Amino acid sequence: MTDVLTLGETMGAFRAAGPFRLGGTAELTVAGAESNVAIGLARLGHAVRWTGVTGADEIGSLVRRTLLAEGVDIAAARITPDASTGLVLFEPRTADITRVLYHRRSSAGSTLSTEDVRRAFDLGVPRVVHVTGITPALSGTALAAVTEAIGLGREAGSAVSLDVNFRSKLWSATEAAEVIRPLLAGVDVLIASDDELPIAGDHRVPEVVVKHGADGATVRTPDGSWSAAAHRVTVADTTGAGDAFVAGYLSGLLDGLDAEERLRRGTAVAAFAVATPGDWQGLPARTDLDLLDLHSGSTVR
């Protein structure tokens, strides 16, 4: 059985030691909000399927190889010879501010379609369908794919989660709201940061999870509201922290944890993510979670 199906664009990611205009070295890896969540869930022991489109190029091979190595099912992913895999560039501008530059216009990932989603469902109905507000901004076919995933998930009895994940370089907040708000009628779990909640508007989603960054997270359900503090760790890179939180929260949902415990698992997974450079490299295995209970500076022998 598939625990989670997620869909979206995963790109080649270059991480530079300084501004790109000055040249120098850069590390090549991969990045994408939905695949970050997929990797996080897979490391926690869940069966995860990712569907998306990569180009018939070396970067696409890197994306597929990385996801396979992390235990993510990519049987429903598609390779197209008609477009290139997108790229994302990360450059540090201060000690704690990173600028993100995209090269993804007309990319392979933007050609995601309803056929891709149906193929993923044909391989097995997931317990949870997870989508983000990034994918609908990529193209009309990508928006249709997200709509199809939500609809098929509802029909099949899957829980549907949506992380707003607003990207100002893809569209305006007004444009995002016009697209995302109609989708919420089919969503069971809405996830957003404080500044993204206005995009969702006056929603009626049963479960609303709000990420507060260093201040933790809260959740509101028909049974009440709960909060969880963030874990205090030495921060190396906040990129991907929100996706890490989502992976932990959905893991708790799959394991039948109560709302407060779901939050705690989310903040725990996010703590590991921010303590290591990269979008997903620091994501923990399930056996790692108890390490946060140790005193600072402890060594596990």
- Closest by alpha carbon to 213, among 246, 237, 242? 242
Point out the least confidently predicted range of 29-33, 159-163, 255-259, 277-281: 277-281
Residue with the two structure tokens 């429903």: 76
Q: Which of 3, 116, 237, 243 is catalytic?
A: 243
pTM, rounded to two decimals:
0.95
User: What per-residue confidence (pLDDT) applies to 301?
Assistant: 62
Are 18 and 116 a contacting pair, CB within 8 Å? no
**Which of 38, 250, 40, 257 is CA-nearest to residue 159?**
250
The runs of H, that is alpha helices, within the chain are: 33-43, 58-69, 114-122, 140-156, 173-183, 197-200, 241-254, 259-274
Q: Report the alpha-carbon distance of residue 141 to residue 193 in Å, rounded.
A: 26
The C-alpha atoms of residue 225 and residue 210 are separated, in whole angstroms, by: 11
How far is it, in rounded angstroms, from Cα 209 to Cα 218?
6
CB 200, CB 183: distance < 8 Å: no
Annotated catalytic, 243? yes
Question: What pLDDT band is residue 140 in, cutting at 50, 70 and 90?
Answer: very high
Please give the helix or strand (H or E) that residue 211 lies within, else none.
strand 207-211
pLDDT tens readout for residues 43-78: 999 999 999 999 999 999 999 999 999 999 999 999
Domains and CATH numbers, the chain: 4-282 (3.40.1190.20)
Q: Which two tokens stand for residue 74?
A: 């990519």
Sort strands 4-7 and 48-51 into parallel, antiparallel or unpaired: parallel
The alpha carbon of 233 is separated from its chain's Cα centroid by a whole number of angstroms, namely 21
